[in-house]
Chains A and B, each alone.
Chain A
Amino acid sequence: MNGYGALAGKYLKQQKRRTLLTVVGILLSVALISALGTMGQSMKDNMVDQTIYDYGAYHIGYGEATPELLETLRHHALIKEAGAIRKGALTELAKGYKLELAEATTAGFELAPIHLLKGRFPSAAGEAVVEEWALAQLPGAPGLGGKTELVKPDGTKQAYTIVGILNNQRLNMTYGTGAAYAWMDDAAAMADVPGTRLSAAAIFKRGVDISAHLAEFEKLSPKSFGTNTQLLALKGETADSRLNLSLIVIFSVLIGLVVLSTIAVIYNAFNIAVLERMRHFGLLRTIGATPSQLRGIVFREAGLLALYGIPAGLLVGYGGLWLVLKAMSAAGFSILTFDGFRLTLHAWIIVGSAIVGLLAVLLAAWLPARKASRVSPVDAVRGTGNIVRESYRRVRLPSVLRLLGIEGDMASKNIRRNRSKFRITAFSIVVSITLFIVFHYFAQEAFKVAVNDSRDDQVAFQMLSSFTQTANGNQAGTSPAAVDAFDAQTIADIKALPGVEHVYGRYNMPDAQIYLPSAKLNGEYLSKMGDDVFAKSTLDGKEIRIVPAYTTLYDDERMKQAEPYLIAGTADPAKLSATNGVLIVQQVKPLVIAENKKINLDLSDLKVGDALTLNFGTQEKPLMREVRVGGILSQAPFNPTVLDTQLYVIGTKATYAALLKDVPIETAPNDTALRGLDIALADGADGAPVKQALQRMADQDPSIRLVDFVEEQRQTRQFNLQMKIFIYGFLGVIGLIGSLNIVNTVQTNLMLRRREFGLLQAVGMTLSQLRRMATLEGVWFGVIGAFWGLLLGVGISFLLYRQMNNVEGIPFTFPVTGAVISCVFALGVGLLSVQGPLRKIAKASVVEELREEA
């Protein structure tokens, strides 16, 4: 031993179990802090990457640019790079498919969201890249390196070499128009080509305060100006910085709570370690240790624990994340739908977590250190007696515990006899419960925001009849008499394919307007959206508003999926058909200009049984029909794009057949005929054989197209699963920290009183009475902690909700699950944690306990 400071290490070595417990506490906290920080930062980094992937890297763009505008952008002092894309004529392919060849400058390729699957981007005239699925539709189905003739934007034809293949785009597949790009030089972009549309995009130089200059660039072409809103928002470059601020507040609150619980865990560990050694500290005082030397010993212990706990925590935090991500990639997952999710090791997070961890440890050690330094040497050498001076106080408040006999009476006195000890114990438990509730709430809400809950993610394939192009405006009115595109036998065949779970019909319904009595409109909606959001009119002398309807026909198979979303009424197709009933979704999520965010609102106050007047004609030539509200859904089970100013009107085939009777064919060309199929696969089913079978069917009928969503669907599901893994992983660690804290606290309380327990036994308290008393204390601390933890947890959750509400308008829901789990957990842990010390007490002899140096 080279100095008295080595005492610290010796104590730690002797108290192996407690040292381990404390190190684990520090480790978990630091791991959690660093993992949280890293996840937050990585998610943001990857969100930026993903946004660039989805929307392009450009900052500002002009939908219609003139050569002069492009010139201005190119030479602007603030602009790093400006690119251009020219679009125009389409190439007609077989089966009604089309291909849109656009020409892009080199910078255009960089700034637009164009993604290569294979090969490279064109860099010379006569080279092109084509979307993968569209390539197969080209004559001769050329591959990479193949040649094909395509229509240029100006309408002329040119031969191209395929130098790259692009990723498939869902929308392009549904509409049957593939994308292709060829290269043009900057001079070509400057030419004025009639019949084509030139768009320009630009990126600012590094360090430019983008938000300050947006107005200036908007002036160049106000009508076609647009920004890459998502990307700018993520970079904190929108006029409204709430997104970033909210993220910071949310993560700060979460990390703050973790730090608080770390302090509680470590404080407790130190407190007991110091209290148990008060005599030794007193003794050191008698042989001449100064108070600051004693403080030094305690702080040195804290430092030693931090020395092991913090690096281990960083290692576990990063290692854990890395392992999880590695395991996920190994299992073929793409992380959180981000292609190539990178776990970025930011130095500031490592250093920050270490500093936060160290500060928490030192802060936690502060009070015990002070206590150690203030010990009276006289008390230490007096030989007998309790060195831990407790200020006892009488409890006046009656407690329910008193109803439980002498043990309960004593337990209630014990709990409250020392104000500061009571507060510390309760504080630890409260922090643990609060932490859990808040985390659980946050995780749940984040999950809701991130994951769209609908039945769509099961749909892996679509079979579409190419005569349903009316929506795109290509083949309007040319359809023959409305006949089902698929017969019952085909549907049965598809259903029989192994792995296929559902086959849903697709129908094209005509547009309609709802003549909604003004009184049935939701007042809040109207006040937020403005009174003029819907046109006013009168019907039968009453004031009504004309609300657009989102008319949708559900077959029986789809109706079954509507069941879980039913708020009121029925989704039974037979009942709906019989009563002329429809399902409606009146919750919408419009952008409220005044608050600059999307908010969940009810558009109308319709009730089950209300009549709904629909107009399938125009205002001049109305075709009025009437239905009844048969059921109300919380959201549409399919295609849940939340509407802002429309009401879903979902009906059965029978209902719509009645509605569309006598509606002219120009308005409802498809009538209620089946126009396509959505094919949903069972979980884990192999899509490949199903695809082959469907492809064979499609090949037999020139009007049928097959759209493949398997990959997309797989990624969505993985995303949901990964979110769950992360959230429950975090919650697990939080739970562990919380329990560690409660166990530590309750045990501290008991172990410090072993002498007293010895006394109680000496005067005739039986072991079972003792057990009952201690158990009641543990449980009662759980009750008190649960009460305050619940209050605080819900309060902080609400605070977080307000922050998240800035990002995404959602209603506040009471965190029931988190509250129940944490409270039950706290009581359970309180109950279980007294058992260890009790066993120890039962084993020890009374005499030994009496002699025990307190």
Chain B
Amino acid sequence: MIHLMNVIEAAGLSKSYGKDSTLVEALKNVTFSIPQGEFVAIVGASGSGKSTLLHLLGGLDRPTGGAVRIDGEDLYALKESQRAVFRRRKIGFIFQSYNLIPVLNVEENITLPLLLDHRQPDKAYVRELIDTLGLGERRKHLPSELSGGQQQRVAIGRALAYRPAIVLADEPTGNLDSANGREVLELLKLAVRQFHQTVVIISHDMNVAAEADRVLRMQDGRLVSDSRGGVVQ
């Protein structure tokens, strides 16, 4: 396999909440790196620290210790507002509960990250993206007029709108039936192939893990295994 440049690097990452008797260590000294174009699944029991790790990778939260580099940039050396700008350009998020803006229609939701950057979206690309997502007929619909699967596809579209280097997905299929879940997964894999993007996905679903290039297993805030193509490294 060709060795690619690492797009995500986590070094000694830890996160704790509360203090003294109420201290909870959600993440303990996690280190790993992900090269560009890889489809990675993070699995683990609930409370194992998966979501915390994802939030830290996306720059949503602040680690108690350690560092995260995305595309060579030290995420937590940036100021809050710089990090926000970095996030909208380099990172796409997909959540279990879609989290679409209810007052915006499909197209507007998808182009929102661009608009936040005061940029006019590339119409042809947006159209292609919407068609790829199978939402061509629903361009002007509001989220409330869409099914769960369609809503999640909009969320994927939004994550891909800026052609970010990495896409972080937190249980993207958790609220979907298996057919819709498969479709979402296919779209994410397509993104990896077509746009050479890096996808990190959290899931309980073993099917999802099976589709991944690489699986990181979390337990009690620690990374306990890292396997490629079923091989533990």
Are B103 and A284 touching (Cβ within 8 A)?
A: no
> Cβ of B37 < 8 Å from any Cβ of A?
no
- The answer to whether residues A289 and B84 also contact, given A4-B115, A377-B60, A378-B61 and a CB cut-off of 8 A, is yes
Contacts of B38 in A (CB 8 A): none
Q: Is A211 an interface residue (CB 8 A)?
A: no
Give Cα A284–Cα B103 distance, bound, in whole angstroms. 13
Asked if residues B113 and A288 are in contact (CB atoms below 8 Å), the reply is yes
Q: A7-B104, A11-B103, A286-B93 are in contact. Are A381 and B170 (CB under 8 A)?
A: yes
Cross-chain contact of A381 among B55, B91, B92, B104 (Cβ < 8 A)? B55
Produce 1/0 per residue, A242-285, CB < 8 A to B: 00000000000000000000000000000000000001100111
Q: Are B97 and A383 in contact (CB under 8 A)?
A: yes
List residues of chain A with CB within 8 A of the CB of B85. Answer: 288, 290
Q: Given the complex, which residues of B lie within 8 Å of A289, measured CB to CB?
A: 84, 88, 116
- Bitwise, B78-119 to A at CB < 8 A (1) or not (0) is 001100111111011101110101111000100111011110
* Cβ-closest chain A residue relative to B108: A1
Please name the residue on chain B nearest to A1 by beta carbon: B108
Tell whether, in the assembled complex, residue A285 and residue B84 are in contact, meaning their CB atoms are under 8 Å apart: yes
- Give the residue of B81, B96, B112, B120 whose beta carbon is less than 8 angstroms from that of A290: B81
- Which A residues are in CB contact (< 8 Å) with B89? 288
A188 to B58, CA, bound (A): 99
Measured in the bound complex, the distance between the Cα atoms of B112 and A1 in whole Å is: 9
Complex contact A14–B170 (CB within 8 A): no
CB distance from A3 to the nearest CB of B (A): 5
Partner of B103, one of A13, A285, A292, A381: A13
Are the CB atoms of B101 and A280 closer together than 8 Å?
Answer: yes
Chain A residues near B117 (CB, 8 Å)? 288
Interface mask (B48-86 → A, CB under 8 Å = 1, otherwise 0):
000100010010110000000000000000001100111
**B214 contacts A by Cβ under 8 Å:** no
Q: Is there a chain A Cβ closer than 8 Å to B158's Cβ? A: yes
Give the total of B residues in contact with A, Cβ under 8 Å.
Answer: 35
Interface string of A283-327 (1 = CB under 8 A from B): 111111111110000000000000000000000000000000000
Roughly how many angstroms separate A1 CA and B91 CA in the complex, as a whole number?
23
With a cutoff of 8 Å between Cβ atoms, the chain B residues found around residue A1 in the complex are: 104, 108, 111, 115
Interchain CB contact under 8 A, B55 and A4: no
A287 near B88 with CB under 8 A, answer yes
CA distance A655 to B14 in the complex (A): 105
Is the beta-carbon distance between A378 and B55 smaller than 8 angstroms? Answer: yes
Contact pick for A3, options B99, B102, B118, CB 8 Å: B118
Contact check, A287 vs B60: say whether CB atoms are below 8 A apart.
Answer: no
Q: Work out how many contacts link A and B, with CB atoms closer than 8 A.
A: 86
Whether B101 contacts A283 by the Cβ 8 Å rule is: yes
Cα-based distance from A289 to B103 in the complex (angstroms): 17
Interface size grouping (class) on chain A: 20 to 34
User: CA A1 – CA B126 in complex, angstroms?
Assistant: 14
Q: Does A28 touch B at the CB level, under 8 Å?
A: no
Q: Which residues of chain B are near A11, meaning CB under 8 Å?
A: 103
Q: Is the CB of A283 within 8 A of B99?
A: yes
The answer for the CA separation of A524 and B115 in the assembled complex, in Å, is 76
Q: Which B residues are CB-close (under 8 A) to A376?
A: 60-61
Interface status of A10 (Cβ within 8 A of chain B): yes
Give chain A residues whose Cβ lies under 8 Å from the Cβ of B95.
286, 381, 383
Chain B residues with Cβ below 8 Å from A3 are: 115, 118
Note all chain A residues with C-beta closer than 8 A to B88.
287-289
A380 within 8 A of B: yes
Q: What's the nearest-Cβ distance from chain A to residue B203, in Å? A: 14
List of A residues within 8 angstroms of B92 by Cβ? 287
Closest to A13 in B: B103
Min CB–CB distance B131 → chain A (angstroms): 20
Contact of A287 among B61, B113, B170 (CB under 8 A): B113
Given A381-B99, A381-B170, A288-B116 contact (CB < 8 Å): yes
A10 touches B104 (CB 8 A): yes
Task: Enumerate A392-418 residues with CB–CB distance to B below 8 Å.
Answer: none
Whether B60 lies near A286 (C-beta < 8 A) is yes
Instruction: Tell whether, in the assembled complex, residue B103 and residue A291 are in contact, meaning their CB atoms are under 8 Å apart.
Output: no
Q: Judging by beta carbons under 8 Å apart, are A4 and B112 in contact? A: yes
8 Å CB interface, A34-60 against B: none
Shortest A274–chain B CB gap in Å is 14
Alpha-carbon gap, A287 to B154, bound state (A): 13
> In the complex, which residues of chain A have a beta carbon less than 8 angstroms from the beta carbon of B87?
286-288
Chain B residues positioned under 8 Å from A288 (CB to CB): 84-89, 91, 113, 116-117
Complex alpha-carbon distance, A13 and B103, angstroms:
9
How many Å lie between the Cα of A581 and that of B111 in the bound state? 94
Inter-chain contact B60/A378, CB cutoff 8 Å: yes
B window 192-212: CB within 8 A of A: none
**In residues 101-149 of chain B, which contact A (Cβ within 8 Å)?**
101-104, 108, 111-113, 115-118, 120
Q: Is the CB of B55 within 8 A of A290?
A: no
Could you tell me if B116 and A287 are in contact, using CB atoms closer than 8 angstroms?
yes
Q: Which of A2, A284, A293 contacts B101 (CB 8 A)?
A: A284
Contact with B along A381-396 (1 / 0, CB 8 A): 1110000000000000
Contacts of B116 in A (CB 8 A): 4, 284, 287-289, 293
A285 contact set on B, CB distance < 8 A:
60, 84
In the complex formed, the residue of B with least CB distance to A374 is B80
Question: Who on chain B is nearest to A853 by CB?
Answer: B97
- Complex CA gap A228/B217 in Å reads 95
- Cα–Cα, bound, A292→B81 (Å): 8
> Which residues in B have their C-beta under 8 angstroms from that of A293?
84, 116
Q: Are B103 and A286 in contact (CB under 8 A)?
A: no
Residue in contact with B80 in the complex, picked from A4, A291, A380, CB distance below 8 Å: A291
Chain A residue numbers with a CB within 8 Å of B170 are 381
In the bound complex, CA of A283 to CA of B93 (Å): 10
Q: Which of B99, B104, B112, B117 has the most CB of A within 10 A?
A: B99
Whether the pair B55, A287 counts as a contact (CB closer than 8 A) is no
Cβ distance B36 to chain A, nearest Cβ, rounded Å: 20
Report A-chain residues with C-beta under 8 Å of the C-beta of B108.
1
How distant is the Cα of A289 from the Cα of B170 in the complex, in angstroms?
19
8 Å CB interface, B157-206 against A: 158, 170
Give the shortest distance, in Å, between B1 (CB) and chain A (any CB). Answer: 32
Q: Which of the listed residues B58, B80, B101 has the most CB atoms from chain A within 10 Å of its own CB?
A: B101
**Complex: how many Å from CA A14 to CA B102?**
9
CB distance from A278 to the nearest CB of B (A): 12
Of all chain A residues, the one with the shortest Cβ separation from B86 is: A288
Q: How far does the Cβ of B14 sit from chain A's closest Cβ, in whole Å?
A: 16
Bound Cα distance A601, B108 (Å): 75
A285-B84, A288-B85 known; A7+B101 contact, CB < 8 A? yes
Q: How many angstroms between the C-alpha atoms of A310 and B97 in the bound complex?
A: 40
Chain A residues positioned under 8 Å from B97 (CB to CB)? 383
Interface-centre pick from A1, A11, A287 (highest chain B CB count, 10 A): A287
Assuming the contacts A283-B101, A284-B101, asked whether A291 and B118 have C-beta atoms less than 8 A apart, the reply is no
- Contact partners of A382 in chain B: CB under 8 A: 51
B91: chain A residues within 8 A (beta carbon): 288
CB distance from A825 to the nearest CB of B (A): 36
Residues of A contacting B99 in the complex (Cβ-Cβ under 8 angstroms): 279, 283, 286, 380-381
Q: List 5 tightest A-B contacts by C-beta distance, closest first.
A: A288-B88, A10-B103, A290-B84, A290-B81, A4-B115
13 A–B contacts, CB within 8 A, in A order: A1-B104, A1-B115, A4-B116, A10-B104, A286-B95, A288-B85, A288-B86, A288-B87, A289-B116, A293-B84, A293-B116, A380-B99, A381-B95
Give 5 new A-B contacts, CB below 8 A, not counting A3-B118, A284-B112: A7-B101, A13-B103, A291-B81, A377-B60, A378-B61
